[in-house]
Amino acid sequence: MTPFGAKLRQLRKERNITLKDMATALDVSSAYLSALEHGKRGKPTWFLVQRIIAFFNIIWDEAEELQRLAEVSDPNITINTAGMDPKATELTNLLSDRIGQLSSKSLEDLIFQIRSASVKED
């Protein structure tokens, strides 16, 4: 499941909306919405995210958070480390090999560390 899919499911469940009803309102298939929730589809288009925001009638911070989650919810990422520090290649390979074994807490810690890491200045 992607961060966007988890949030979408949470919003739908909190409002007691069926997948079928939401799909009909958004003019997409139930199968597509289900795949989006389960992370079996790529990140949604900006247009679809805007329709979802309108559907749930969410505003401000919650709408911005949904947009942010959509941006970080591509379940099939490729990282090209050519030309980077060799440590970047090592890091991406370690992450690729071990990400499925990490606990939720470890993932949370890594996300925090990466977000708060100093950015290289050229």
Q: For 2-55, how does the pLDDT look when each residue is reduced to its tens digit (9 = 90+)?
A: 999 999 999 999 999 999 999 999 999 999 999 999 989 888 999 999 999 999
Q: How many domains does the chain have?
A: 2
Residue 122: pLDDT over 70: no
Q: Residue 81: left if φ>0, alpha if ψ -120 to 50, beta else—which one?
A: alpha
pTM: 0.74
Domain of residue 9, residue span:
3-71
Q: For 67-107, how does the pLDDT look when each residue is reduced to its tens digit (9 = 90+)?
A: 999 998 988 888 999 999 999 999 999 999 999 999 999 99
Asked whether residue 29 falls in the same domain as residue 53, the answer is yes
Asked whether residue 53 falls in the same domain as residue 103, the answer is no
Asked whether residue 85 falls in the same domain as residue 64, the answer is no
Question: Contact, 65 vs 33, CB < 8 A?
Answer: no
Closest CA to 69 of 80, 78, 58: 58
